[in-house]
Structure 1
Amino acid sequence: MKWLVTPLVLLAALPLYAQNITKLDVKGYYPQFSPDGKQILLTSSKFTGLKILNLENKQLRSLTDVEGAGYEPVFEDGKVIFTNKKLKSVNEVDLFSGKQHVLQNSKLPPALFKSKQIGISQSLKQAIHARPNQDLSGIILTYSDQSEVEIAPQGKKEDYVWISLSPDRKKVLYKAAGYKAFVTDLNGKVLADLGDIEAPKWANDDQIVYMVTEDDHLSYTKADVFMMDWQKKQVKALTTASSALAMYPSAYANKVVFNTPEGDLYLIEME
């Protein structure tokens, strides 16, 4: 299924949003803020191992070196839940003691494992997780009563990637691979067409962060990070083409972190 692509905004014309950008003295990929915004979780380019950087004292600690640990790990009450690809298990590491243990021999991704545990104690039915189905042709919503519903807002012929549930658990952000990103409600009704953006993530219920890239089929030639109010369609440019190649952003309050293709990390603090 194909659609006509209409540019959301003229990105090149956007003014740079007021901010400070600091290069962090560490290497890592796919950065993720802790729930309090004081730490950043990092992995390798191939999702092997996990490290955590304390932004207050600048200390970097290794949490684990297992394969697959960096693929969508989640924080939970002073711990990090991650995947051990070799053992096909869901593991947990304590951020204070560093102790690890296996939670379950399961192929469930960490976020889904966590949400199912939360769901057991939920009395009010609500969405707790969103993920692609096995062949990426739809989005599976898991609810707190353990029921699951599949939606496919652009039809079953698309590949659905970069799927995430909004903080208020009422909306889904995703990209139809090779085409556009969208926000939909839990019934699959499209609420916003976000255009051809990459690696979109919720910053909060109203805003998302994402990257826009160009390449020469061998490597990236341009990559910049933006923040968008998805309802008002207002876009802020957080980096420019003259800065480092900015990829895979993550946001917390007025802060955004991203990595370059070489694994350099930068912290943006917006005014």
Structure 2
Amino acid sequence: MKKLLLLSLIVIGQFSYAQRIEVKSVQLLNGTEQGGYFHPVFSPKGTYLLTTAENYAGLNRHIMATNKIEKLVTDAGAGYGVRISPDENTVLFKKTEMRNNLRFSSLQSYSLNNKKQENLVEATREKISPVFAENEPAVIRGTVLKKIKSTAPNVNPYINIEDRKMVLYAANTRKVLTPNGENKSYFWASISPDGKHIAYTVAAHGTFICDINGENVVSLKKLNAPSWLNNEWVIGMNDKDDSDQVITSEIIAMTIDGKIRQTLTTPSVKIAMYPTASANGKQIAFNSEKGQIYIMNIELK
């Protein structure tokens, strides 16, 4: 009887995990018909999207309920690694500028409540990465995590890329992770919503999943620009180029065990790139090669 019960639990577990994704609809986001909007990012509650230029210059806010588009800032580099506070009221981004042929970066915040931009960290040659301590801005500068306000709470675990390696910041610790070897180049790293896994890409080797300690590595093969759909699925793109421009790109979803790989169909879009998911896992936003933004509504079956 115990053996039968154990077998039943295993079968149920496998059945519940081996889901498929049904694409319910793919719709062009109003106001983006002429293109010029790239690299979409959902706000934590899904009330708006942030987009930027193809070269990551500037930030736009697309309000989902009204289809209104607001130009927030025009700063160079603002769209690369942009972060949104959990309450959706503050946007953190890097402003890049060239001085005597050297690149400098400063940390900027933009308040959606009062429409004001504030300089938080002066321009520096050090690498900086914006993060949040709940709703309070913080920054990783060089190899040190710093709070902007001393009273801010601890920063949630965050994975950063430093010297082509992954670095995990958690509580007051800093840990270098190189699950595929120290001589590899790591990028596109992010932590799952439940904080248990990391999705990342290794140059010339594809995308992988490991646990939060950098162990138990699973290959997802080619899956560029990976991001989390939920705790069990990762989405990304399978793009191909002719050494000059992208000629095809599909949205791909994979389970974190690498066993299920599914192409999410986009009938009216031949080149679908840089997918990102809403927090509830029901919508995926992506851009076309011209910078039109599409919203894919999905359901896990």
Normalised by the size of structure 1, how large is the TM-score? Answer: 0.85
Equivalent residue letter for 2:292: D
Match of 2:296 among 250, 256, 268: 268
> Partner residue of 1:166?
192
Distance 2:168 2:272 in 1: 31
Distance 1:232 1:213 in 2: 19
Q: How does 1:240-259 map to 2 (within 5 A)?
A: 240=266, 243-252=269-278, 253-259=281-287
> Partner residue of 1:142?
169
Larger radius of gyration: 2
Moved more, 228-237 or 257-266: 228-237
**5+ residue gaps in structure 1?**
1-14
> Partner residue of 2:28?
23
Q: How does 1:163-242 map to 2 (within 5 A)?
A: 163-231=189-257, 233-240=259-266
- Classify the secondary structure of the residue corresponding to 1:97: coil
- Classify the secondary structure of the residue corresponding to 2:79: coil
CA-CA distance at 1:59 after TM superposition: 0.2
- Classify the secondary structure of the residue corresponding to 2:131: helix
CA-CA distance at 1:241 after TM superposition: 7.3
Distance 2:109 2:254 in 1: 34
Q: How does 1:109-148 map to 2 (within 5 A)?
A: 109-111=129-131, 113=138, 116=145, 117=147, 121-122=153-154, 128-134=157-163, 136=164, 138-145=165-172, 147-148=173-174
- Classify the secondary structure of the residue corresponding to 1:190: coil
Name the CA shift for 1:40/1:240 in 2 (closer, same or farther; >3 Å).
closer
Name the CA shift for 1:127/1:18 in 2 (closer, same or farther; >3 Å).
closer
Normalised by the size of structure 2, how large is the TM-score? Answer: 0.77
> Partner residue of 2:105?
88
Check the 8 A contact 2:237/2:274 in 1, yes or no.
yes
Equivalent residue letter for 2:41: Q
Distance 1:203 1:31 in 2: 14
Distance 1:108 1:221 in 2: 34
Check the 8 A contact 1:173/1:182 in 2, yes or no.
yes
**5+ residue gaps in structure 2?**
1-19, 98-103, 133-137
Match status 1:79 vs 2:57? no
